[in-house]
């Protein structure tokens, strides 16, 4: 990383996590305020979803607090559809958005591991 580069955000994939069914992959992301509104989160979610499909994931899940409209919009723009509503262990309500990764695994859209690495939002 050069001296003039700044971290813009993060993206995280969890292939095993409490509450996920076998084959589901949790996708979590966040952007720092100066980087929002540029389509970076949507692009990172698409790249990470392609990577998850290539690694054998069957369904991607984005869990969003109901009042986080911006994060829900990223999920919808990335092709996720509303799923179930749950409560986290601490009582936090979460709207689930899901995407069938088997479609990515059969398409030319999927990202290779080297392309997915470019999604580090720096």
Report the percentage of the chain scoring pLDDT > 70: 82
3-state secondary structure of 110: coil
Adjacent-strand bridge partners of 24: 59
pLDDT, tens digit, 9 for 90 and up, residues 52-105: 999 999 999 999 999 999 999 999 999 999 999 998 888 999 999 999 998 765
């Amino acid at each position: 990383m050069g001296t003039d580069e700044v971290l813009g955000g993060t993206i995280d994939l969890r292939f095993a996590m409490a509450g996920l069914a076998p084959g589901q992959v949790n996708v979590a992301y966040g952007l720092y305020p100066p980087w929002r509104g540029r389509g970076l989160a949507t692009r990172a979610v698409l790249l990470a979803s392609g990577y998850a499909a290539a690694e054998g994931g069957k369904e991607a899940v984005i869990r969003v607090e109901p009042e986080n409209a911006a994060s829900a919009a990223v999920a919808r723009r990335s092709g996720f559809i509303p799923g179930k509503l749950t409560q986290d262990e601490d009582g936090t309500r979460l709207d689930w958005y899901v995407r069938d990764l088997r479609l990515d695994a059969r398409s030319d859209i999927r990202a290779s591991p080297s392309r997915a690495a470019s999604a580090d939002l720096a």
